[in-house]
Chain A
Amino acid sequence: MMQVTSISEGIVLDHITQGNGLKIFSQLNLAALDHPVVLLMNVPSRLLGRKDIIKIQNIKDIDLAMIGLIDPSTTVNVIEGGQIIRKHKVGIPETVKGLFKCSNPRCVTNSDTYAEPNFRLVDARNREYACEYCEETTRYRL
């Protein structure tokens, strides 16, 4: 059995759907952190069968919107003094700012640096978002 030590301060992202751990790791650019990060893949899970887990030492402020876009079933555990002090499901974000581009080539956000793409959720199942500027629907895909 492989052993990974627990962290005393930081965040544990649990219940990540198998295969999404690497996507979250990559999109959040966790490799660039100056703190220890552990990515566990294909971990046996009573609930999911297999799951991925990410442990980030010393960091508590991460982009939950991006995690929610990739895998809303992820659980965030905030660790302080070796104890879980807060635990919640990420869920799919209602609003998203600057994380992906509007799919409408005529949208001002694709040509003007002042206009940061800003979206509101219109269809959670299909991860579809309406652009605040042009109102066209963009389907989030990695």
Chain B
Amino acid sequence: MVLVCLLAYYGREGTFILPSLNRKRVSAVAIRGKSLISPDDFTVEELQQVVTTANEMMDTGIDSYGDLCKGKILATLFYEPSTRTRLSFETAMLRMGGSVLGFGDANTSSVSKGESIADTARVISYYADVAVMRHPKEGAPKLAAQYATIPFINGGDGGHQHPTQTLTDLVTIARYKGDLAQQVVAFCGDLKFGRTVHSLIRTLARMQVKKFVLISPEELTLPTHLYREVQAKGVPMEVTTCLEEVIPEVDVLYMTRIQRERFFNEADYQRLKDTYILDARKMEGAKRDMIVMHPLPRVNEIAYEIDDDPRAIYFKQSECGVYARMALMALQLGVM
């Protein structure tokens, strides 16, 4: 009996797994055909369903799903540069036996001729079974989903939302940390423009973590509407400009890049870009089981010397991202 319980709590790599987040099942029918523009589009149960499925896929092994999406097509509509997200989506679909079409630069598509987002969405609906869109304009994937007849996924819209990064982060926290209700989650860096932060914090607030710690320069604090929203969920929040002061109480440290492309003024970027650099000295003050996450790519905010620290799991996070996207698309397409 004891052995059975232990197996339930430990995953393939000896990592702690949260039964309530990873093992809860809801009907996959609810996700079938559904677009994901914001994490709010999915109920907590549906988010748990994706996390559970992704973790099961990780446990089973990537080679077991080679025929799952045979005959299905993913359209990748990337209106601004992306390496990680686009490749992660493409890998996810190819690993499930499906095909991929699309563009990675608006200048090579009909957009350069002035085609509207709505028209592109309508046409792509006849070509593919599921689509992912990244766009510099905030709300563009939502607009596309309103005119599409296939499930649309927001692959990042300006500084607004990045829901599949949120799914990636949820899978990662569940796999490497466990029970959300016990976690003090700190966000550090650009909380104003960091869309990964926006998506994750509102979702974790819905799932009721123990506490949030918001670490940023005063110019890059969380937008007011989000702050209010998280506050309304009743999760305690601490706001600070000093990482060293709060790091001893943190369980999950989510580092972010100061986003040069979101600044209207280069001088402001130069002044703020190196505000927070996580190095070995700062890590000495952290808990031994704290995890360091980062949506990547990093610039200067995490020193390379941290990479070998077992608490640094940002590369494993990328692995979780592939499984999160496999699980999402498989559920949207109704093949699981």
Contacts and interface: CB of A to CB of B under 8 A. Distances in A.
Interface of A: 104, 106-109, 111-115, 122, 130-137
B137 interface: yes
Nearest to A123: B228
Given A114-B117, A114-B147, A134-B158, A108 B139 contact: yes
Interface in B100-158: 116-118, 135-140, 142-143, 147, 157-158
Contact of A133 (B116, B138, B147): B138
B225 A108 contact: no
B234 interface: no
22 contacts: A106-B136, A106-B137, A107-B139, A108-B138, A108-B139, A108-B140, A108-B157, A112-B118, A112-B137, A114-B116, A114-B143, A115-B139, A122-B228, A131-B139, A132-B142, A133-B138, A134-B139, A134-B157, A134-B160, A136-B138, A136-B225, A137-B224
B143 to A, nearest CB: 5
B219 to A, nearest CB: 17
Interface string B209-230: 0000000000000011100100
Given A106-B159, A108-B142, A133-B139, 15 more contacts: A104-B138, A106-B136, A106-B160, A107-B137, A107-B139, A108-B138, A108-B143, A108-B157, A112-B117, A112-B143, A130-B225, A134-B157, A134-B158, A135-B138, A137-B225
Interface residues of B, number: 20
A107 B160 CA distance: 9
Given A112-B117, A114-B143, A134-B160, A106 B138 contact: yes
Instruction: Provide the main secondary structure of the chain A interface.
Output: loop
A69 to B, nearest CB: 19
10 tightest CB-CB pairs across the interface, nearest first?
Answer: A133-B139, A134-B138, A108-B139, A108-B137, A114-B118, A108-B140, A134-B139, A106-B158, A137-B225, A115-B143
A105 to B, nearest CB: 9
